[in-house]
Amino acid sequence: MPVTTAINYDDLRRMAKRRVPRIAFDFLEGGVDDEVGLTRNDDAFRKQTLMPHYMVDAAVPKLATELFGQTFAAPYGIAPTGGAALFRRGADLMLARAAQAANVPFIISGAATATMEDVAAVARDVSWYQLYLAKNRDISRDMVARADACGFSTLVLSVDVPGKVQRERNLRNGFSRPMRPTVSAKLEALMHPGWLVEYFLGTGMSASNWEKYAPKGATPDDVLDFLSSQFPTPSTWDDVAWIRKQWPRKFVIKGVLNPDDVARCVAMGVDGVMLSNHGGRQLDRAPSPLEVLPVVRDRFGEKIVVMFDSGIKRGSDIVTALSLGAQFCFVGRWTLFGVTAGADAGASHALGMIRTEVSSVMTQIGAPDVAALGSKFLMWGDGDLQRNARN
């Protein structure tokens, strides 16, 4: 079935699930511990109600959005998703090309298979680099220098992976370093011959950005072992300080949720924060970023760019986050399901699908452009129609 027949997120999810073995799909979809965080992200959106304003000409809403002085075609981009090549060989570059064609930001993961230099060659204009700090900070300093040399406009430091966690689906499947797939996982993988051929003909899992720091002659598997020896490691405010000093352009912190941390970011000259709970993959009892978004926006919206990530499955989710105060949104699994299901075409189709949904919702609520979105389009509590007082 062609990927272009998919009409929504769930269709792409089902297509991706059919293509890859369970051990890979569970890594893509799963959360941590009891996976309460995944449900909490969904529930946070379900609790929100959009309030339409009719008699407004929003038939063709304008989605173009300025972010850090650059105009993008829409108020959303592709979040960093590590290990993408496990699901589709060359997925990082496919996502980068789709983002370039759609003129939306693409954040290359610090655990990507493609190098940052490879991504810069195909999508420099829209690409940002996500930095995962290494225990050896000299490696991190060199990565910052490489991202600068690539000409990326924005550096994103992810701070919400201070240590290893219990992703129980991975443990049950034997997805670990080193890989120890269970017998049942191996047998189930045989039901996905297309994926198996692609995986073994390619490099499989790798972390190309880390190759130059691994011991000489290291195989892709050795590089992954080296990465595991260097990451995860906690980020500190001292790290924020030296990165801010070294990095010459826009600097974003991804993974903050506590308003006190946002205040510290403002004080240290950080340009933007991305509210995120890592898609429910790190701290199972963390709040949904949607729950803290209004407070952060109210306190700091004029001082720092506030962006949103985690749990987006519908265009209405993006419209909701923007109405609650986010200035930009990022999707992860949605485009990863797309590229997994249909390679380049799937990545582009996922982005097109998102645009269609966002445009449709904005038309229905009477929002002629992104700048118009705000609290007046939200239902604030049971029976509360006094929304204008909150504008």
Instruction: Give me the residue label for tokens 């987006």.
Output: 312
50 to each of 53, 285, 291, 300, how far by Cα in Å?
10, 27, 16, 24
Helix, strand, coil shares, percent, the chain, to 5: 50, 10, 40
Q: Cα separation of 89 and 86, whole Å?
A: 7
Cα 257–33–134 angle (5° rounding)?
60
333-365 vs 22-29: helix crossing angle, rounded to 10: 50
Q: Which of 369, 315, 352, 370 is nearest to 102 (CA)?
A: 352
Both structure tokens of 366? 């009477």
Catalytic choice (53, 192, 278, 349): 278
Active site includes 278? yes
Q: Which of 191, 121, 126 is nearest to 149 (CA)?
A: 121
Please report, in angstroms and rounded to a whole number, the separation of the first and last CA atoms in the chain. Answer: 46
Q: Report which residue type is found at 29.
A: E
What DSSP element (H or E) covers 158? strand 154-158
| Cis peptide leading into residue 178 (ω within 30°) | yes
Q: Report which residue type is found at 182.
A: T
Q: Cα separation of 111 and 205, whole Å?
A: 10
- Max CA separation in the chain (angstroms): 67
Q: Cα separation of 74 and 351, whole Å?
A: 10
Q: Cα separation of 194 and 64, whole Å?
A: 39
- Kindly report the backbone phi and psi dihedral angles of residue 274, in degrees, each rounded to the nearest multiple of 5, phi listed first: -115, 105
Q: Point out the residues that are catalytic.
A: 278
